[in-house]
Structure 1
Amino acid sequence: MGIVTDSDITSYLATLNIIPTTLSQLNGGTANLAWRIRDSTNRSIIIKHAEPYIRTNASILLPTDRMDFEHVALTTLTLPPQPHIDIPIALPSVYHYNSTRHVLLMSDGGPRTMKAAYTDPTLDIPALGRGLGTWLASLHASTKTTTSVGDNQTAKSIARYSYANLASALASYGFDASLGEDIDAEYGSLLQSDDACICHGDFWPGNIVLAAASTSRPTATVVDWELVRRGCGATDVGQFAAEAYLLDRFCGSRGLCAAFLDAYALAAEEKGALGREWWGRCGVHLGTHLAFWPTSVVWGGREETGECVGLGRELLLRARGGGRGWRELLVLPIKPAG
């Protein structure tokens, strides 16, 4: 029996002897149902539940084991202390998980995502970018050899989606589709065999939750680990950098992309040079993201979307040769907050 309504989740919570004093369904995200409740101790709790389809379209099936992988990540990953990060970065604490009914109860990281909060002038956006870049480098470096989260085939399939549709995105804006086909064959195929480190799998500002709305240096919680997998860290970096660029480009040019990339590079290269191949892979993933996703998620009109697709194409052409020469294409003038 599914858990899809407020009444369903209230009945489930009663089996745990939890009677919420408040309950509200959360609308963000595509795949899972989610609620925020307060219990009798006034503790705020987030509940996630997976049905065997995506929340926004029941005709699209999606394996429920995505919740198993999230639970493994949240209860397995331990990161070394980060004395150089000004902004505390955390993972949610797990309170309960039912692997049969795919219900996860965890701590509430806060009311706003970093994407939603980007335009808040009280937030130090570059500091957040630097903290997240440093943190992500630590995640990748500390999980190179010993950490396993299982074989998340759903995550690998979803990661390939933008590569598989890159050719059509390029063609729809007048660019040669063969570039997309070549990128998918050369780089998209690597997603199945990558095994360098633990990757979050969906690392972007929408999955960074901020705890305090009134301080410039809030605690940030990294959420939504259902696409976690062993992979290549360049894909996490490329995805976040692409979404950070889009925020900078369309929402205020506050320097998030550059701050994040510079901090990741500094932290990662202190532990050993990343190399031309790694940087090329990062640029390819970034370019694939920018060339495809703005054609599906609205950031601007058709002309602005075409500019993003064209930028993605240029990134791909430069990055295929390896190295980091593509970085100069992402430079935007930084505007002061306020």
Structure 2
Amino acid sequence: MKTNAAVILGAGQEWTVTEIDLAEPQAGEVLVEFTHAGLCFSDEHLRHGGLGELPAVGGHEGAGIVRAIGPGVTGLAVGDHVAASFIPTCGQCEWCVTGHSNLCTQSANIPGGADRSKYRFSLEGDLISANCGLGTFARHSVVSERTVIKVDPSIPLSVVAVASCGVLTGWGAAVHAGEVSTGDVVLVLGAGGVGINAIQGARLAGAKEVILVDTNPAKLESAQSFGATRTFTSMDDATEYARQASGVVEGADVVIVCTGNTTEPIVTAAYSALGKRGRLVLAGMSQDVFDKNVQLPGTQLIFKEQTIKGTIYGSCNPRRDVPLLLDLYKRGLIKLDELVSKEYSLDDINQGFEDLRSGKNLRGVVAHG
């Protein structure tokens, strides 16, 4: 079959919207009509050539409807509403069976980790990859049943789309990786889709202060509506406030870095706000995913018993946590509708990413019309 898709043909190029070929689902695969796809900085990293093979169909955050199933698929049926999961959950590897399915060994998003035998897209006869094995920037995609999660059909698919990556990553960075608890002082760097949801996670976990730092003043007011207790454009001012608020800890209990391009100066500044026994969580990637952007005083880590932790997918188990977050949404405990700043057509995807880079949107969403 044919389908429209946004493709990156080479590193640094803009998205090309074109018609491509899509093979039928094979064993263990499903055909999904993606109705919505989130615009995430990870796809911006892919565009620059640092996060997977090119050319590629973009998109790893999304939601849609199962339209066909391949042989052997038992957990999904035609008509099911699903959320994309950019890391699969095979349920068999050591990471999955020990409760760390965000590290599943079948992950397709690591550079050089793709299996060409599983490519279902092709362009002018040449096989092309799908970002994270998904390719949600295509109206239709054939994916492994392990990379989609059945969800409540009463929830709008635009909401499900943003919950499938950015919400889970930010919320989990606070709840799972940062282990925020009642009375903690939490500082979040970056008020994009991940940072805003780190704020929501910290608030739900009982933090007494949730401090947000972002250089874009326009984002500060919206951060307060999601639960930030104080907002700053200056890291120095935020650090000083965290030290005053923390008392004997002399800094934040948890600092969560959610910046779109996490550089060494950002990590160093984040560490400067950390108190004794504090947890520094890195949830935002660098543009060059191999950049050595952590250079910290190790002996001070010893003296203060501090921890530095990376987190992928918010250290969540997506099959458990996507439905959990959507249930919190239905009960009015977290905001998801308000995350979608603007919907774009697929033809306008380059404008959507320009708005993301310039900080206009919390989350832009492509609505496949």
| Same fold flag (TM > 0.5) | no
Question: More strand per residue: 1 or 2?
Answer: 2
The TM-score with structure 2 as length reference comes to 0.24
Question: More helix per residue: 1 or 2?
Answer: 1
